[in-house]
């Protein structure tokens, strides 16, 4: 099975070929299928091996995957990368095949490669910024957010601590979070 980096590098090519194929280019469709088939075959063989099944059965699954791609290619979003769509179909077909053989098994999505790097998480705001925005909130919302978000208290504990009902704590929490989110978006 190719590494995730190799598949990621081919995903742009596959995406372009699929766009051309959906626009009516038969040669591009042929090149696409020829390029993805070995990757699908390797993933299917690995999936069958992990399930304790003969990897020789992989060819049937590859054909099922290619047929599903052909029948459902109109559902692919041309603005999205092709590989995740393809590997979702492949994973589901492999799971279906293993279930038909009477054995339930977990199939790791990594069998079909990690296709795209995850986006880095947004940088957290410095606690000083959040603290200054908390100070702008009404007292009740600030107290509830401080108790739940900062001190990790439960709704019930916060209600007891602030002599409020649990329902009022939830309302203050949601209003405080909405106000805080609006203030952070302004910045």
pLDDT digit string (tens) for 126-179?
555 666 777 888 899 989 888 887 788 888 999 999 999 999 998 998 888 888
10 Å Cβ neighbour count for 132?
Answer: 12
Q: What average pLDDT does the chain have?
A: 81
Supply the range of the domain harboring residue 94: 4-112
Average the pLDDT over 75-86 and give the result: 90
- Does residue 9 have a pLDDT over 90? no
**By the 8 A CB rule, do 47 and 107 touch?**
yes
CB < 8 Å & 24+ apart, contacts of 175-181: 175/141, 176/137, 176/141, 176/142, 176/144, 176/145, 177/145, 179/136, 179/137, 179/141, 180/130, 180/133, 180/134, 180/137, 180/145
Instruction: Evaluate whether residue 31 is within a structural domain.
Output: yes
Domain of 89, CATH number, reads 1.10.1740.10
The count of domains in the chain is: 2
More confident residue, 165 or 120: 165
97-117 confidence digits (pLDDT tens): 888 876 545 556 665 555 544
Instruction: Evaluate whether residue 122 is within a structural domain.
Output: no
Average the pLDDT over 47-61 and give the result: 83
Instruction: Evaluate whether residue 182 is within a structural domain.
Output: yes
Instruction: Evaluate whether residue 119 is within a structural domain.
Output: no
Average the pLDDT over 69-73 and give the result: 91
Cα–Cα dist 8/115, whole Å: 5
Instruction: Evaluate whether residue 118 is within a structural domain.
Output: no
What is the predicted pLDDT for the residue at 7?
A: 61
What is the predicted pLDDT for the residue at 58?
A: 85
Average the pLDDT over 80-92 and give the result: 92
**By the 8 A CB rule, do 43 and 1 touch?**
yes
- Does residue 62 have a pLDDT over 80? yes
What is the predicted pLDDT for the residue at 51?
A: 80
More confident residue, 84 or 4: 84
Q: Are residues 21 and 89 in the same domain?
A: yes
Average the pLDDT over 21-44 and give the result: 92
């Amino acid at each position: 099975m190719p590494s995730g980096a190799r598949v990621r590098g081919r995903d742009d090519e596959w995406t372009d070929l699929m766009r051309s194929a959906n626009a009516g280019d038969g040669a591009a469709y042929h090149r696409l299928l020829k390029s993805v088939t070995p990757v699908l075959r390797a993933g299917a063989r690995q999936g069958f091996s992990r399930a304790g099944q003969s990897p020789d059965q992989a060819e049937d699954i590859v054909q099922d995957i290619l047929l599903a791609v052909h029948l459902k290619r109109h559902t692919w979003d041309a603005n999205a990368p092709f590989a995740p769509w393809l590997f979702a179909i492949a994973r589901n077909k492999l799971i279906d095949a293993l279930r038909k053989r009477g054995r339930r098994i977990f199939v790791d999505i990594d069998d079909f490669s990690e296709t795209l790097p995850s986006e880095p998480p947004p940088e957290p705001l410095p606690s000083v910024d959040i603290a200054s925005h908390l100070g702008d909130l009404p007292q009740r919302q600030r107290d509830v957010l401080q108790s739940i978000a900062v001190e990790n208290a439960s709704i019930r504990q916060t209600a007891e601590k602030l002599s409020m009902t649990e329902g009022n704590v939830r309302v203050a929490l949601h209003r405080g979070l909405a106000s805080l989110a609006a203030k952070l978006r302004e910045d």
